Amino acid sequence: MLKKIPIDQLRLGMHLQAFCGAWLDHPFWRTRFVLQDPADITLIRESSIREVWIDVSKGLDIESPESTPVETVETAEAIPEEAPVIQEKASFNDEFKRAQKIVSRGKEAVVSMFQEARMGKAIEAEAAAPLVEEISNSVLRNPGALISLARLKTADDYTFMHSVAVCALMIALARQLGLDEQQVREAGMAGLLHDLGKAMIPLEVLNKPGKLTDAEFDLVKTHPEEGYKLLLEGSGVSEITKDVCLHHHEKVDGSGYPKKLNGESMSLYAKMGAVCDVYDAVTSNRPYKAGWDPAESIKRMSEWTGHFDPTVFQAFVKSLGIYPVGSLVRLASGKLGVVIEQGEQSLLKPKVKVFFSTKSQAYIKPETIDLARSPEKIAGREDAAKWGIKDIDRYWASDKV
């Protein structure tokens, strides 16, 4: 039986079933666990959460159950759901701040799941559902904010942040393809768990700063099947999630792995996973190479014959923009700028922060130009190294932190 109790009645040994409040309001990435650490109760009491649901069949009851009137239900499904919040569009700046919290908690969740997988604990997909929901809502408010933020990774947290990024990319792509909201969340969960098998790869291989040997690369290539095994043993894992985990390295020409599927035998979700996984990988800084510029990545990926499904890839480009946030572009005037937000009407007219003049070959005072309201036009992509420009990301991210 489930009981709704005020937080001042919490004690060690109780099984938490749900928090009464938003996912970001409470201090844990998962909601269902037995309270075993006094510090956890302190964290709950210091949060904005005032009531929780406990499961007395899996943990302790309140100390005086007969004398204390509480709300009870028989099953988790009977817990009253809070009215869904209508997700209104948000500016990039406003959503960026919210996205920072979501990405931070998302990384924490993936780290925890990987650790549990290494220890042999079965994966509970439903525990990650609130995270997928938060990512989905953020992408709905402003697709560019969380997706761009998740691209900023250190070499040490790449594996975990990559999972968060691919979750967001899958959600944006699913909506672009016109899938319904249930399918959108399925795609997001598949993105979040697609690389779980890397928990089984030795860290010294996974984070190796140099080129992998053939034997090491063969070991890394086992991660789709290792992840699939982990998901088979888990609970609440959909067939879509298992499929994307096993097949996100397949190619439509049949040259991928592990099953050498082709465009006819790959599912739509596997084709989506293939695009999203590669895009985040090539745009991220890795131990052995710097990430490519987002717009350059789109261009190069479009030239890889036989790798991606053309229809899915075209939808992916529309979901991100031809010039995704963080792309370095040259305007017709000769000024260089970084894309800071997509235009509402045209993929060719984003908002750009200019900061360099190619004519004088010097930095200029940064200025934001909305190309939808300016005679300026993008003349093309630019290579930062050509002009000696470093740390492009500070021009779109640093003033929002």
Q: How far apart are alpha carbons 196 and 199 in whole angstroms?
A: 6
For the chain, which ranges sit under pLDDT 70?
65-70, 76-78, 80-86, 398-401
* H-type alpha helices, 286-360: 294-302, 310-320
Contact between 188 and 135 under an 8 Å Cβ cutoff? The reply is yes
Query: What token pair was written down for 34?
Result: 């037995």
Cα 363 to the center of its chain, rounded Å: 34
Q: How far apart are alpha carbons 283 and 264 in whole angstroms?
A: 28
Beta strands across the sheet bearing 2-6: 33-34, 15-19, 51-55, 2-6, 71-73
pTM: 0.88
Architecture of domain 92-320: Orthogonal Bundle (1.10)
- Report residue 378: phi and psi, to 5°: -80, 125
Query: What token pair was written down for 389?
Result: 């420009």
Give tens-digit pLDDT for 256-289.
Answer: 999 999 999 999 999 999 999 999 999 998 777 7
Q: Give the Å distances, CA to CA, from 101 to 47, 104, 149, 150, 301.
A: 15, 5, 11, 11, 31
Give tens-digit pLDDT for 156-193.
Answer: 788 899 999 999 999 999 999 999 999 999 999 999 99
Give tens-digit pLDDT for 24-41.
Answer: 888 888 888 899 999 999
Q: What is the pLDDT of residue 209?
A: 83
- Dihedral, 203, 205, 210, 213 alpha carbons, nearest 10: 180
Rg of the chain over Cα atoms, rounded to whole angstroms, equals: 23
DSSP codes, 108-156: HHHHHHHHHHHTTPPPBGGGGHHHHHHHHHHHHH-HHHHHHHHT---TT
Q: What is the pLDDT of residue 86?
A: 59
Q: What is the pLDDT of residue 401?
A: 39
